[in-house]
Amino acid sequence: MKRRHTVPLQRGWLVALLLVLILFLSILLPQLGILNLYLQQVIMYVGINIILTISLNLVNGYMGEFSVGHAGFMAIGAYVSSLLTVLVFPRSLGPFIFPLVLVLGGLAAALAGLMVALPSFKTRGDYLAIVTLAFNMIIKSVLENIDAIGGPRGFMGMSKLTNVAWVYIWVLLTVFAIRNFVFSSYGRGILSIREDEVAAELVSVNTRQAKILAFVISSFFAGVAGGLFAHVLQFINPRSFTILKSTDVLVMVYLGGIGSITGSILGASIYTVLLELLRPLGVWRWVVGPLMLVILMVTRPRGIFGLREARWLIPAEEVQADATATS
Amino acid sequence: MQFIIQQTLNALQLGSVYALIALGYTMVYGILRMINFAHGDIFMVSTYLGFFGASFLLGHALHLPGAVTFVLTLLVAMLGTSLLAVFIERVAYKPLRQAPRISAVITALGIGLVLENFTLATIGPEPRILPQVIPVINFNLGGVAVSTIQVVILAVSAAVMSILDTIVRKTMTGMAMRAISFDKSVVPLMGVPTDRIISITFALGSSIAAVGGTLYGIAYMIDPYMGIRIGWWAFISAVVGGIGNIRGAMVGGYILGFVEIFVAAFLPSTYRDFVVFALLLVLLVFKPTGIMGMPVVQQKV
Amino acid sequence: MPLLQVKGLSHYFGGLKAVSDFNLDMEPGELVGIIGPNGAGKTTVFNLITGVYRPTEGQIWFNGHNLVGLQPHQIINKGIARTFQTIRLFKDLSVLDNVRIARYSQVQYSPWSSFLHTRWFGEEERKIREEALRLLGIFNLGSYAQALAKNLPYGEQRRLEIARALATKPRLLLLDEPAAGMNPGEIKRLMELIQWIRREFELTIILIEHQMRVVMGICERIQVLDFGETIAEGKPKEIQNHPRVLEAYLGKGVA
């Protein structure tokens, strides 16, 4: 059995180089004024949506659950990170502690994700949808009722710490982490739950552990996205994180295709950009956009890239297994 | 004490509307195992149909007796809404019957968005209330204010619900609906036109929601985004009662009406959502299939 | 000491008695069959042993461990594996993945390692992949490794289910109607396969089957269930002509 080192290694170096190049561009282009503020904002929103979509896809696509409250985790990340940068840390430290603050927001959201994972042990499908919806609304309600953080009026004052480079870095981290996770035994365990949960248990998969992992990881990244969101908009209020926002993310997941990171990147990008392109239509863009979605769903129910993955995301060993399988 | 009775009346009124809408969710779920997320927005469209119907009938100085105008408004709303619902079912849901269930759900969400924003774009966001098709007379029964509107809502809802109950239990169509909800694949083999029954279910569920819509429009304000809130509330009613169970939907609607009114009566309004959802969670933990739902059959291995 | 000891196992679904006072002792290496008409409770017994249901009454001891109350995956980790009456493969996953997932509980690396694809992770994954491919090779499924499980021919799917079960390295294997839907040629090969894996993998096997050729051909002992109750036990020859068994299958007034 021959291990083909050369091709994967070369490919690896090439990819890494390309990614670093893009990073430079993401820092440089805004500085040079080549990317105007509007374009920068669109790119940042695309990135934030990519993180949201990939993270939700882990639970809804790979694990086959029906979680409809993703905005709740985003809200927690947004509020926690904002409170930290505005009330806890000195302003001047802002740009330096930004990654830390995002991680803390993500961890807070992950804790909430853990709580949602628990009911998922016993309930599935439509009932889990309602549980996640309830969580979303409860989080929103709780935030509305805490006057110290602004209540229904919202919270503001964040510095604009998010920029294209940071969004890009976090998108990379999300793609890297989740892609690696999915192509591991834990990831396969999660897939098996989607296929047949009972059978999965009966072939040694600890489904409770797998569900916890999926929900916690998913909500962590949603929290990070929330933190990025809060620091580009510089104002957040509970109404930004209702079921409507969750629906947005759901649409991006299923548009791009379940169980596919590439799909999520595509779905998030297309959806965000499309809504921007349709902006001249005014309120009609919310008619045309969803209508296009309906047409897509009816003609291509699995989404653009459902259950498939772009070649360059699949680890070399998985592709290679084919060659060594002959017996 | 009078306060309690007053609030009870309000709760019955609101609960009736929730129940009527919840029936639509539960009937479609029972027959297709699908949560029609567009149903709340179909309800919203029905309120506007009622609005325009009533405006038209009253505005043309037809001098019809109040009761006739009211019934005609109802019929306009019911007819228009059923046509819309059946159209949506044929064009968007039917092609997805073999697809993953989630695709149908996303389609439903998309259709809901289209309905909301189309209404918003064409008619405008201002809240409206239906013109008076029923003379509003307020009685005072021992300190409790009762209006003709409340009486009409309660009476009409009760009537509609008992008619539906009869249809489902006593007619061939109703029996076919129940059969399909048990085993969709076998029923066509017995000569039942499944597609037709499914369309009838959608039409029926939406007509009933339209009744609820017209009644709602008489008592409260309507706006293009109301479908989201009321739709979700009605959906929760259906779940609380046991989704797929028609009597459960009725019970669930009233429960939610009571919870909403009484919470608002005793707690600040911002707590309302929180209490409703917290109660919902608690219920689902102890009785996941809802109050009248069937116990979850052990998964066949 | 017996490998498996089931004592007084009973299970009710609501008011319905599915299994009543089921007893079974198995020494390592035995091959026991459970037969009975449809609905007799045979699969329920499997479900009870593997923890899918918690028994209403009774005890289950495996290798000195008490199984009652454990999660199914914990029971599997103690060394029991099973196949299903209707094939329950992970249909949209590859054949290789189906077998690899069975190694889930044996994975030594933590989730953190999976994020980073550390060297340790790489080593573990390589071992898992090699073992899985080897197992597939033994079952003549190697060329299907990257195919989706749902695209396999029926006979191959059945073999894959057995291969997947064996990937958990069990000591006790529960086979639920493995011959369902097979033609006589396939049945013969199946019987040879079962005998072979019993020797190669040092397995103790419980077999539910309707095909009498298989049962009579390879089982050392047989237990007969009807309406949840054990109506007969013994060697194949004894069971073949047992009046109550014939009655259960063919109805009264025959024999």
Give A252: exposed, middle or buried? Use CB within 10 Å, 0-12, 13-18, 19+: buried
Chain B environment of A290 (Cβ under 8 Å): 109-111, 113-114, 117
Q: Residue C252: which pLDDT band, with cuts at 50, 70 and 90?
A: low
From first to last of the 327 residues of chain A, give the pLDDT tens digit: 444 444 455 667 888 888 888 888 888 888 787 778 888 999 999 999 999 999 999 999 999 888 989 999 999 999 999 999 998 888 888 888 999 999 999 999 999 999 999 888 877 777 788 789 889 989 998 998 888 888 888 999 888 899 899 999 999 999 999 999 999 999 999 999 999 999 999 999 999 999 999 999 999 999 999 999 999 999 999 989 987 788 889 889 988 988 999 999 999 999 999 888 888 888 787 788 788 888 888 888 778 888 888 877 888 777 655 444 333
Min Cα distance C109 → chain B (Å) is: 31
Residue A85 CA to residue A76 CA, distance in Å, equals 14
Q: Which two tokens stand for residue B300?
A: 């066949």
Chains that touch B (3 or more CB pairs under 8 A): A, C
CB atoms within 10 A of CB C166: 21
Bridge partners for A235 per DSSP: A156
Contacts of B49 (CB under 8 A, 6+ apart): B76, B77, B80, B81, B210, B213
Do C88 and C72 meet the contact criterion of CB atoms below 8 Å apart?
A: no
Q: Is A188 on the interface with C (CB under 8 A)?
A: yes
Instruction: Say which of A137, A289, A298 has its CB closest to residue B96.
Output: A298
Bridge partners for C223 per DSSP: C34, C233
Min Cα distance A316 → chain C (Å) is: 12
Per-residue DSSP letters for B20-71? HHHHHHHHHHHHHS---TTHHHHHHHHHHHHHHHHHHHHHTT----HHHHHH
Q: Cβ A201–C167 below 8 Å, yes or no?
A: no
Residue A271 lies in a domain: yes
Segments forming the whole domain that contains residue C118: 4-250
Q: Is A205 on the interface with C (CB under 8 A)?
A: yes
Chain C environment of B295 (Cβ under 8 Å): 14
Confidence (pLDDT) at C207: 95
Residue A205 CA to residue C73 CA, distance in Å, equals 6
Q: Is B135 on the interface with A (CB under 8 A)?
A: no
Residue C255 lies in a domain: no
Chain A environment of B284 (Cβ under 8 Å): 119, 123, 127, 130-131, 134
Checking DSSP bridges between strand C4-13 and strand C57-62, what pairing results, if any?
antiparallel
Find, among C250, C222, C248, the residue nearest to C235 by Cα: C222
Within A3-65, residue ranges assigned H as helices are: 6-32, 37-57
* pLDDT > 70: percent of chain C: 98
Q: Report the amino acid identity of residue B59.
A: G
- Long-range Cβ pairs for the range C175-178 (8 Å, 24+): C175/C82, C175/C83, C175/C205, C175/C206, C175/C207, C175/C208, C175/C209, C176/C42, C176/C43, C176/C46, C176/C82, C176/C83, C176/C84, C176/C85, C176/C208, C177/C85, C177/C208, C177/C209, C177/C210, C178/C83, C178/C207, C178/C209
Q: Cβ C93–A192 below 8 Å, yes or no?
A: yes
Residue whose pair of structure tokens reads 């009233």 in the numeric block: B254
Q: Report the amino acid identity of residue B224.
A: P
Residue C82 lies in a domain: yes
Chain C environment of A206 (Cβ under 8 Å): 71, 73, 104-105
Confidence (pLDDT) at A2: 42
Residue C4 CA to residue C8 CA, distance in Å, equals 13
Q: Is C133 on the interface with A (CB under 8 A)?
A: yes
Residue A5 CA to residue B253 CA, distance in Å, equals 64
Interface contacts (A, B; CB < 8 Å): 122
ipTM for the whole complex: 0.90
Q: Residue C197: which pLDDT band, with cuts at 50, 70 and 90?
A: very high
- Which parts of chain B have pLDDT scores under 70? 61, 294-301
Q: Is C83 on the interface with B (CB under 8 A)?
A: no
Q: Report the amino acid identity of residue A117.
A: A
Find, among C159, C130, B301, C114, the residue nearest to A200 by Cα: B301
Optimal mutation site among B107, B111, B115, B230, interface A, most CBs of chain A within 10 A: B107
Find, among A63, A103, A56, the residue nearest to A205 by Cα: A63
Within chain A, residue ranges assigned H as helices are: 6-32, 37-57, 70-83, 94-117, 125-145, 164-182, 185-201, 207-233, 243-256, 261-277, 285-299, 316-324
User: What pLDDT, in 10s, does the model give residues A155-204?
Assistant: 998 888 998 999 999 999 999 999 999 999 999 999 999 999 999 999 99
Chain A environment of B111 (Cβ under 8 Å): 290, 294
Q: Is A48 on the interface with C (CB under 8 A)?
A: no
Domains: count for chain A: 1
Residue A277 lies in a domain: yes
Q: Is A257 left (phi over 0), alpha (psi -120 to 50) or beta?
A: left
Residue A1 lies in a domain: no
Q: Cβ B298–C43 below 8 Å, yes or no?
A: no
Domains: count for chain C: 1
User: What pLDDT, in 10s, does the model give residues C6-32?
Assistant: 999 999 988 888 999 999 999 999 999
- Tell me, what CATH number does A128's domain have? 1.10.3470
Q: What is residue A168's three-state secondary structure?
A: helix
Min Cα distance B37 → chain A (Å) is: 11
Contacts of B68 (CB under 8 A, 6+ apart): none
Confidence (pLDDT) at A101: 95
What is this structure's pTM?
Answer: 0.87
Q: Report the amino acid identity of residue B161.
A: M
Bridge partners for C207 per DSSP: C33, C175
Mean pLDDT calculated for residue range C213-242? 90
- Tell me, what CATH number does C106's domain have? 3.40.50.300
Min Cα distance B96 → chain A (Å) is: 6
Residue A327 lies in a domain: no
Residue C171 has pLDDT above 50, yes or no: yes
Do C166 and C201 meet the contact criterion of CB atoms below 8 Å apart?
A: yes
Chains that touch C (3 or more CB pairs under 8 A): A, B
Q: Is B285 on the interface with A (CB under 8 A)?
A: yes
Q: Report the amino acid identity of residue A199.
A: A
